[in-house]
Amino acid sequence: MDSAVLQSSVTLGGATFDPLVWSEPLMWLVLAAFLGSAMLHRVDEAWARRIAVGGWVLFAAFWLVLIPHFALTQKSLIEGVGSLAAVPLSVYAGYLLWNGRDSLFVLTRAVGLMGVVYVPFIAVDPLRQWIVELVTDQTAYLISLVGADPIVVEGFSHNGIEIATKEYPYESTFWFDHEEGPITYNILLACTGMGSMSIFAGGILAVSAPWRRKLRALAVTIPVIYVLNLFRNVFIAVSFGQQRMQWFEGLVMSLFGLSDPRMVSYYIADRILAQTGSVVVLVVITWLLVRELPEITVLVEDLLFLVTGTEYDLQSAFDTDAEGEDGSAVAGDD
């Protein structure tokens, strides 16, 4: 994922600031609030509610400061719109929880557990390096199977040429030789699938269900996301490195504010096709997960209510699907 991580400062109204610098302390505050609320919930619901509501307000602030990063630096329509929508939705979640929608305690706990899974990969350098280089090695192997042969580069430069967008000197850069100069594709933490995997892990661990089915749900969803993410990396790397998607160059360059026409393949492959496909895949995985772990419908129902304002009873729908052909209920395994 070749993105300008080091150049994350943005200028708005004459003022320059770095969204990532502001988002990090907010991330820790949100995590503390949501996990603190989860621990207090069984002993003091009133205080758990206050802390959770505060956490949702901080979560809104977290997404607010990241809007410029996703929209202007990353130039990602899906992530930009998603972070923009997350601001009012987070405030609304806090409002509903304050006014007695207690099912949102589960969503609060889920977000906290997502952070428990994901944040160590941000905060612990050896752990981050391990997952980034593991994904790089596996992506490189899959790329070799499709006949491409880029060099995998360690460090911040190769053959005297600096890799300007690289944040860490890991062995994580695919170097494609090109007649107009090298094309580099960096595997970042965001390219490892850890974000999506942590979302599903947090949701599965947060709901009330037998551990046997929770572990089975994790065993089904996490490997699927991981493998599909590897193929996503291969698709982007080959499409960009071999310039296979130089379509509508003028339009794409104007839309994303690009100065180098060779970046067109990257933005079509990643920002348009891969990110859209990822959303579709995650929806399908969620549908399959609900069939395996119906208890997670409490999270899906709350998310749907936040977005649409309409109540849904997904649990009843899936209970109906679980009936036998003669209308009798089919017993579960737990």
- Hey, which residues are catalytic here? 191, 232
Q: How far apart are CA 95 and CA 97, in angstroms?
A: 6
Please provide the distance, in angstroms rounded to a whole number, between the alpha carbons at the two ends of the chain.
Answer: 42
What single letter denotes the amino acid at residue 141?
A: Y
Closest residue by Cα to residue 206 from 124, 288, 107? 107
- Under a CB-based contact definition with an 8 Å cutoff, are residues 171 and 180 in contact? no
Q: What is the DSSP string of 122-140?
A: HH-HHHHHHHHHHHHHHHH
Cα radius of gyration rounded to whole Å, the chain: 22
| Structure tokens, 23 | 């988002």
Identify any residues that bridge with 329 across adjacent strands, giving them in sequence order.
323
By CB atoms closer than 10 A (0-12, 13-18, 19+), residue 149 is exposed
User: Which residue, among 165, 189, 161, 192, has the nearest Cα to 177 in the 3D structure?
Assistant: 161
| Partner residues linked to 185 by β-bridges | 174
Angle at 67 between CA 64 and CA 72, to 5 degrees: 155
Beta carbons of 234 and 137 less than 8 angstroms apart: no
Q: 11-14: list long-range contacts, CB under 8 Å, 24+ apart.
A: 12/68
SS3 148: coil
Which of 99, 102, 92, 95 has the alpha carbon at shortest distance from 45? 102
Q: Which tokens go with 125? A: 């350098």
Alpha carbon separation from 221 to 103, 116, 227, 333, 334 (Å, rounded):
24, 18, 10, 19, 20
